[in-house]
Amino acid sequence: MTTKHNHISISYCTQCRWLLRASWMAQELLTTFDDEITSLTLIPATGGLFEVRANDELLWSRKEQGRFPEITELKQLVRDIIAPDRSLGHSDKKPSSDNQS
């Protein structure tokens, strides 16, 4: 276990029924960063909101980016904040057009 506290949050629009998507991404992050994440909070919201934060830094906003993140790019963004020296293995590359995860 690391001594640094890392907190992730995922805000999702309940009207859009994005709970399943949010909790899937939560499980992906908690599985990949099982040694780094101290806690991960799911936050019901409204109005088409889908935002991911790491240590209060906004990593993804669906309204700003105009789409959901690929799970690989979300992991890279989270990694850059909470475990910058860590490799994510075979998926750790620049996002490509084939959407491999």
Shortest distance (Å) from residue 101 CB to its own copies: 18
CA distance 16 to 24: 15
Q: Does 95 bind its own copies (CB under 8 A)?
A: no
Residue 19 makes contact with its own copies by CB under 8 A: yes
What is the token pair recorded at 97? 């057009």
Residue 16 touches its own copies, criterion: CB under 8 A: no
SS3 state of residue 54: strand
Q: Does 55 bind its own copies (CB under 8 A)?
A: no
Per rule CB under 8 A, is residue 91 in the interface with its own copies?
A: no
Residue 27 binds its own copies (CB under 8 A): yes
Figure out which of the listed residues 2, 4, 5, 14 binds its own copies, where binding follows CB under 8 A: 14
The Cα 9–Cα 51 span in angstroms is: 8
Place of tokens 């789409």: 67
- The amino acid at residue 77 is L
Which amino acid is residue 13, in one-letter code? C
Binding positions for its own copies, rule: CB under 8 A: 1, 9, 14, 19-20, 23, 26-27, 30-31, 34, 37-44, 46
